[in-house]
Each structure stands twice: as C-alpha cells, then as structure tokens.
C-alpha cells in the first residue's frame, strides 16, 4: 500500500499570514499521462470533506486562488498564501494512483 505522510500534524496561523502543508508518498504518484494522482481536501469542523486541489496542482472549481498545490513524484505541498478564518479545519492529502486509495493522517489548521 502507498503510505501518505503529512506534516505538520497541526498548524496555528495568524490571519493574513501564509501556511504550508507537506505530503509525502511512499511511492511515486506520477502517472504515465504526466499527472500526479494527488488531491488535497479540507474538512471544516462538522462538515464533509471538500476538494481543494486535484491532479497535484489543479485548483477545483470555486476554490479561492489563495490555495495552490505543487510537487511531483513523492513530495507535494499545499500552500495558502493568506490564511483566512474560514480556512480552519483538517487538511488531507490522498493518492489515487493505486488501490487501496490512501489518505494522509491530516493536518489541523487553527487560527492564532
């Protein structure tokens, strides 16, 4: 199984400041079509997860442009250029290159 490792486990950010979350996979997520099969999700308190980024760096429809995804192979990063209060919650990365599809353990983002 592909193991997804996120860091940090938690993050406290001042509104307006940037934030960065790392996700590492135990195997390359680069498909032969050139895309990385890596997605980022945010689960806000009491809500279902929502997609932010798919195929490594493509922002999902309706996602603010302060969110960006980067990386390739086994190392990926989600960046928020200016954190807002509504960005609190748990962020998960997920690989979909091979079954079983696997998630990272999550990174909890709080506001300072």
Partner 1 sequence: EVQLLESGGGLVQPGGSLRLSCAASGFTFNTYAMSWVRQAPGKGLEWVSSISDSGVTADYADSVKGRFTISRDNSKNMVYLQMNSLRAEDTAVYYCAKNWDYDILTGYDYWGQGILVTVSS
**Sequence-separated (6 or more) residues with CB below 8 Å from residue 63:** 51, 52, 53
Size of the site for partner 1 (CB under 8 A): 25
99 contacts partner 1 (rule: CB under 8 A): yes
d(CA 51, CA 61): 9
How far is CA 2 from each of CA 47, 90, 97, rounded to the nearest angstrom? 27, 21, 9
Contacts with partner 1 in 61-90 (CB under 8 A)? 61, 90
105 contacts partner 1 (rule: CB under 8 A): yes
60 contacts partner 1 (rule: CB under 8 A): yes
CB of 17 to partner 1, least distance (A): 26
Which of 39, 42, 78, 80 is in the footprint of partner 1 by CB under 8 A? 39
The three-state secondary structure class of 86 is: helix
Residue ranges binding partner 1 (CB under 8 A): 37, 39, 41, 43, 48-51, 54, 60-61, 90, 92, 94, 96-106
């Amino acid at each position: 199984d592909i193991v997804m490792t996120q860091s940090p486990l938690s993050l406290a950010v001042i509104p307006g400041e940037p934030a960065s979350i790392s996700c590492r996979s135990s195997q390359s997520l680069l498909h032969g079509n050139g895309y990385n099969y890596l997605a980022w999700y945010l689960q806000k308190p009491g809500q279902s997860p929502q997609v932010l980024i798919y195929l490594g760096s493509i922002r999902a429809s309706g996602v603010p442009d302060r969110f960006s995804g980067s990386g390739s192979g086994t190392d990926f990063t989600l960046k928020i250029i200016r954190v807002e209060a509504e960005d609190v919650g748990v962020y998960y990365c997920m690989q979909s290159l091979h079954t079983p599809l696997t998630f990272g353990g999550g990174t909890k983002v709080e506001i300072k």
